[in-house]
Each structure stands twice: as structure tokens, then as C-alpha cells.
Amino acid sequence: MRSDKIKKGVGRAPHRSLMRATGLDTEDINNPIIGIANSYNEFVPGHVHLNELVQSVKRGVRHGGGTPVEFNTIAVDDGIAMGHEGMFASLPSREVIADSVELQGFAHQFDGLVVLSSCDKILPGTLMGAARLNLPTVVVTGGPMEPGHLHGENIDLSTVFEAVAKVKDGDMSEDDLIEVEKHACPGAGSCAGMFTANTVSAITEAMGLSLPYCSTAPSRSTQRETIAHNSGRRVVEMVNEGTRMSDLMTPENFANGLTAGMALGGSTNMVLHVLAFAHEAGTDFDLDYVSEVSESTPHVADMSPAGPFRVSDLHVAGGLPAVMDTISDHLNTDVQVAESGTLKERIDRELEEVDRRVIHDADDPVHDLGSIAVLKGSLAPKGGIVKQTAVSEEMLYHKGPARVFESEEDSVAAIDNGDIEPGDVVVIRYEGPKGGPGMREMLTPTSRISGGELSGKVALITDGRFSGATRGAAVGHVAPEAAAGGPIRLVQDGDTIEIDIPNKKLNLLVSDEELEAREKNFDGTYEPDTHGRKFLARYSYSVAGADEGAVLKS
């Protein structure tokens, strides 16, 4: 066993003595030692219950003959960090989480690993760290939050953000907003729609890294506790079998995960995170491949924020096994999955009656194409992405004048002051991985647009990123970013921008001669404001572009 390095032989008596100080006895020390990377904390809804769920994981590990050893990672809540300087910490925290998982497992020579995590960047970060360790690994996600209920309708976090726009437009009272606020997020779990957290959880299950229904079973349910217990038992079996995480991170497994994300209408952030995860797994692919997968995948589940259904509805409708069966012609079902056997065997074993109101048949999809379109052109030579399944038909092609802002805050002020007109293209730059630094999520400006009178009338383009709750003609991840010398830094107010989602184009309709003149007269390099934070300075110096997953360059 790998842990023999810290526990076998006369020379390891001091090590064993320290283990005994934690309460372990001889049998515990001799058993396979299973690290549990738990991102529990008391300030993030997707994590507040993980201190309870981890007990089921530990029981499973013990029942399987292993010794569970829990450690923790940090967790930044994007919703709470949104709209202020705290959001600069969000994406960089993914790298801190990955490093912490890798370092803990490397230092203590665990035999196996259970990842217990949830939410945007946090789950991806733990996956990245686990990929580096390449131990026998099972992933247990925290599960989705139930939707809120108000006036007979289901609501969720995106409802609150969009309600703010309604108050500012005079279409809702502040008292009504408070009622929405109180009811939208009823308890523990990752936000109820197919936002980034649940998208990445679904991708993880579709890849075979977690057990069936792990991505959809309610956060506080006996089914989730059973999944957690069985995951703990299974990882010990994997240690004994010699099954490692790399066996579940083949290019085919990644393709299956990405295909499932597209079929579910998953968030733009999934592209950033899957690119980074694949990079750590040594199975690199690029945005062109993402585009190929999306164009060959039907969108079969009309999930919030663009549709009416939440993850709880998806679970009752058949969960990921039903989705995978529905799109099986687009998958490699011979790949290995966590519980042993193949994806095909999982589907055949788990599949029950499917509710076609929620999960459409592949021959009658919600949309013919998957959720993400990769746009390229003179404004985004290396690509930008948009959630095309959340764009109204009239905005799939749009040409309009640019309104340029150097930060998210400036754009929000302009929207709130009524300075943005129908037809405008809001351009927010210097918000990319290097330029932000940290590539802030910008749900505030997109929800101001999609929740207000400008909905379906205004487009937004940025080198930053969006929340998974974003909908509308919002193109993000524009690369190269402004701080890396991308064309977006040369855009001026009034320039005509063309967004052509069906033809995958994003163009700045300015002559080459004019752009050359602007380039010649450009007034120097951009120095990002790191807000006095050393980690932001290090991040800005080392980070790659969004088209590469915003990974840190070695």
C-alpha cells in the first residue's frame, strides 16, 4: 500500500506514534488510509451540511475495511462574493483548493481519496487536485438545494438577482423583493438550477467519477447518505483492485461528461473548469473540440435559468442515468465507471421510467444543439463562449453599437442610470483572468439586463465570466483578454459589433487600417489592480487565458 511509506517498519515508529495521538489504533494504522477532502464551512449553503454527510462517508470507509482521515479545503461562495472586490478571490481560490488537496495527499501518502465537495470552482478545484494525485478516488457532491416557493411558483437564486432589476425599474416593491429573498434559497445545497455547481456535479457523474444519482439526489436525503456510504466502501475496494482515478479520466470519459453538460443546458463556466480539469488529467482538448461536442449534442432538459425545471425535477424524472440513456448515441458507453463495470451496465441497471416532460427524447429536443456556442472572429481570435440555449431567438443574431466599460461596476452604474439603450452592445473589459485579475463572475450586470426592461434587447460581451445563473445574449471568456493584448482592448464607444451565434462569429466591424492606427496609438500596458493582495499578484503573473481554462502556468 502507498501508506506503507509512513507506517511500515522500525523506522516509522515515530510516525505511528503521531497517528496514535489522533486516536488511531494498530488495526486502523494497518488498514488502507483513505483521505477525505471535505470543503465544509459554515458560510456557503452548498457546504453547511457536509460535516454531517461526511459521517456517512466515514462509515462506508470503515465498513469497507479502511481508515478514514478527513481534512478540509476552503470554499468561496460566489453569490456572497458577487458584485464587490471579494469576487476577485473566486476563481483564484480554485488553484488554492487544488494545491491543498494535492499537498495533503502527497505529504501523508494516502492510499485512496474521497472528494466531498460542491459548488462552482470548489468542486473543480478538488477534482484538479485529485487528478494530480491519481489515487483510487470516488467523488461525493453535496447535492442540489430544493427550489424555493412563492405565490405558487418555484423560484431560486437567479430569481432574486433578476428581482433586483425589477425593483430598480419600478416593477416590484422592495417589500416584495424581501419576500423573494426570504423564500428563494430554502436550505442547504448547491443552488437549485442547472447553474455551474450542478453542471459540474452532473459532468462528474457522467464521467463515472461518482456513483449514480450523486448529482441529483437532494442535499438532505437518505438517498444521498446512502450514496456517501457506498462511495466510502467503494473507494476501499478500488484500493484493493488497483483502480486509479486515471482509469476514469480517459478522453472518452471527459467527452461523456462534456456531452452531458451540453445536453443539460449547462453553464458557460463548465468550459473553463473542464478545460482545467482535463489539463491536470493530461487529456488536453481545446475550444474547437468543445464546439464540436456542442454541435453534435441535443439539448434535452430545459433547466433553470433558461427553463422552468430545477435539479429536483430532473432527479424525479430519472436523473443522470435517464439523461445518459437519452443521449447514448452520442456517448462512449464502454468506459469504466466508479462502481466497476461500464457506463452501459450502469444505465441498464439504474434506468427507470423517464418523465419526458423534463427529459425530452433525443428526437424531440429542447434545442438541436448543446448549450454552449464557441464564437470566433476579429473580436475574439481565440474564442468567446455564450450559453446559446439561454438566448432569445431575436438575439441569436445582433449587430449594434458598443458601449465600453473598463469594469463591472461602471457597467452596472450605466445600466442602473438608464444610460444603456435597446440595441446596445455592452463591452466590459479588463475583467479576464490576468486583467481582473481573477476573472470575476458578473451576474449583477447580466441579471440587471435579463431581469429588466432591456431583456432581449441588449447584448453583453466581456473577457470576464458569468454566473451559471446568467441567461441572455451574454458572451464571455473573450480571448485574448484585454490585459493580454486582445482586440477587445481597442474597442471604442460606437463601434459596430456583430454577434452571430448560429454561424459562431463575433466580429468588431472596424477596418484593419483603423485598428492598426489604434494599436499604434495605444497608451501602454495595463497594470491590474491587485487590491494589495499578494495572491492576486501571483495569480495575474502566472495565469493562462480563459481559452486554456485559466490554469496556472508552471
Cell reading at 76: 468561496
- Cell 466591424 locates to 509
Distance separating alpha carbons of residues 319 and 210, to the nearest angstrom = 13
Question: How far out from the chain centre does Cα 483 lie?
Answer: 24
Backbone φ and ψ of 114, nearest 5°: -115, 125
Distance separating alpha carbons of residues 7 and 463, to the nearest angstrom = 50
| H or E element in which residue 303 lies | none
Helices in 428-542 by DSSP H: which ranges?
Answer: 443-450, 512-520, 534-542
- How many C-alpha atoms does 340 have within 13 Å on its Cβ side? 12
Number of Cβ within a 10 Å radius of residue 136: 28
Distance separating alpha carbons of residues 83 and 541, to the nearest angstrom = 24
Distance separating alpha carbons of residues 145 and 129, to the nearest angstrom = 26
Cell reading at 70: 478527513
Q: Which of 39, 56, 201, 467 is catalytic?
A: 467
- 19: helix, strand or coil: helix
Pairs from 393-396 (Cβ < 8 Å, separation ≥ 24): 394/456, 395/456, 395/459, 395/472, 395/473, 395/499, 396/473, 396/501, 396/502
467 included as an active-site residue: yes
Packing angle of the helix pair 251-263, 196-207 (nearest 10 deg): 140
Active site residues: 467
